[in-house]
Chain A
Amino acid sequence: MSAQDGSAARALDTAATPVLHAVGVHKSFGTLEVLRGVDLTVTAHEVVCVIGASGSGKSTLLRCSNLLERIDSGTIELFGHDLGNERIDEDLVRRHTGMVFQSFNLFPHLSVLDNVTLAPRRVLGLARGPAEQRARELLSRIGLADKASEFPERLSGGQQQRVAIVRSLAMSPRLMLLDEVTSALDPELVAEVLDLVRELARQGMTMLIATHEMGFAREVANAVCFLEGGVIVESGSPERIFSDPSEQATRRFLQRIVEAGRL
């Protein structure tokens, strides 16, 4: 078991290749074409923010990246491996790729500590002791050590989302996919979650972030992609995208954001 795991981990760990490399990705749900040829590259220790209106395909792009959805055509390479290859083990893909959802999706029947230790114990085969020790370390780093034995429903939204992030981190992922992680939060709780994400970025975590928080994207991203109608209309450095977008569509989108008082 462990030897097999080791070789699998090595197989995914080829240096100097992009962490995520998507080319011409198409994805439809029934007759609705959500992604219509998306190209995207995320290199190691880079933070890429995907912005765009609701329904533009941001979530779908993230969900295709850890095989929660299968793409119709194009290729997505993760750590240098084509996810379309039939020998790809989707459980291994997800083990190395953390995903955080808009609605937290903590397991309501498990305590905070058990939420964080479930995957390390059941997937990595860690014993309860070491798994809990690591979980407590992570929880104390986000100031929630005293909540370890609480159930998720007793935490605030912001606390739940931070636990959800820590739950992903407990698997030591090489790539984090954050799907509008602050969109379900009350405004006063957004900051504590963004602070944690900022901290991850500072530590060099590779992240692909779908977000509506433009100020945050501008501050934390190495690159920003504007997604509209299932294609990436424009991408570049946050300074350029937010200050001097070259595309009409990007300008229109940002204008609406400014008018809504969100930038």
Chain B
Amino acid sequence: MAEKKASFPKMSEIKTPEGAEGWQEIYASYHIPGELKEEEDNSFWFLDSIHKPKVVYPFDTYDMESWGRSSSETSSWLFEIPATLGCDQRIVNGYLYVHSSTINDPELIKQRLKVFTERADFYFNHWTELLELRKARIYEMNRTLENLDFSWPTKEESEKHVYDITSQIKIPPGLRIISNYNKLIDLIYEAWAYHFEFCNPGYAAYLGFYDFCKQHFPDISDIELSGMVSGVTVEMYKPQEYLIELTELAAKLNLQDTFLKFKGLSSEKLEEFFKVLKETEEGKSWIKRLDEIKDPWFNVSTGRGYTWTEYTWLDDLSIPIGVIIEYLERTEQGKSIVRPLAEVEERRDKLVTVYRSLFNSDQDRDIFDKLREVAVAAYQFVEGHQFYLDNWFHQAMYHAVKRLGKTIRDSGLIDDVNDIFYLHRFELSSLVYETMVNYAVGFPVSNGDRWRAKIEKRKKIMAVLEKWQPPPALGPVPEKVTDPNTRMLWGVTSETIDRWQEQMGAAGTGESNIIKGVGGSPGTVVGRARVITDVSQIGELQEGEILVAPSTEPSWSYAFVKIAGTVTDIGGVMSHAAIVCREYGLPAVTGVGFGTRVIKSGQMIEVRGDEGIVRILDKGDKE
């Protein structure tokens, strides 16, 4: 452990793949490496494949930098995390790399320690109260985003503008768009601020609990530790629970036959489905319940929630209803669909009881209780925010951006609504202004050709970069990691780094049949692998297969009832895949690095959740 680990490639050594020359122009200049070459090469960077597993869209760099800034300021000045300042971000060949900084000056650490202790203590003592306040604000922000208006004034509005004497100040109509665009930008930053306001002290609390237990029980596993704080029913599970409720309601109302007739429901058939349902009173009362639930609870993305290419259950109700139909079928076959929460709770209580009994003194037991209490509170946010921030907020935000895109397209400056995602926020700001000018002048001042050329070029470059395999890390491995996010969320530990290094070697030779990761959820299972790198492939998952993915998100939950286990490239014990697998009692190995690259769909693999090992059992050239 003490020996110095070998370095990863330096940032400046990374070559641009052929055909992607000029990729740097896609992004705002401050994301591009080079200006601080020496510092960059001497720092340790890791690939953020949790948030940005693919080539980052220029517009998304704003979301990316917002969490970077928010996370940084939360660490650096809000809580003054003792030995940690913020995290820096760079884009390399289109992929996001993160570097978290460590303070080494003991005097400064001491000063910060005092501040942190006081402030974090206050937060822990007011955690529930503060969390409820922020949640209320986040819900309000989400509604604001949903209602952000980017349309031009209607004739009625123009008339009102002229004739309504009571209107105190006459705001130019075009300003609405610019102003709402600015509001959108502000809201993104604000959302991430709340995210880290709770994540940073929350992860810190969990780590305190983690290290305290490790000190007393050196052999305690990550799974046992997270098992002691799991089983808290929160927002993240509500969409899933409502699906089950709606399934049970359909059964209670004897609607099974009607539902099963629509097996394999697609969005095209949705209208017909509702038409048939509305023919009966039972059907009507089922729809009534659906309407009560769906907003906000079906604001669940079909993917990670972080990208504009996804959509929500609310956008396409055939997704949740399709799941309900599948559930009804399973129920008829006598299979279970209910989340085995009781089992998780029982497991948690057993762990807590046994470990509590093994402490040597009541004093230690008291600290264990206190640390666990704070960690449990933290865990609620870790789970819950995945719904109201990662999913709902982001999807509301992307819907708003798409409404803006429609206005811009309608003014003739771009060809496709989604083309605006190929522009970063400063460019978009300019484009919004041009759109407004076109409206204000009344005839096109700009025809958008400059933008079109830019966008076309970017699409080509991004396609090339998409095929490039980014190394899991860059630069020299530091002596220690102090940032709680880096440890908890990305799971950067000594073992992770060893794995990354091993896998960089293994990925090259293709010889290794053992892949090491983090034991995310206990148990061992053998099954066929199904590699899912994009949410659109999720329908390919077959009963009993093992899901192999870069990472998973809450909206995939419905898939967990039929899979046998999970392997993810990125994530620690607190990652979504690990949390959900523990809830479902499925073995999971997370943070394996290159699983989606090394494992092929159709191969037989063994997932050993306790040991954090995946074994490839055959060559399985099925696909």
Q: Do A and B come from one complex?
A: no
**A residues engaging B (CB < 8 A)?**
none
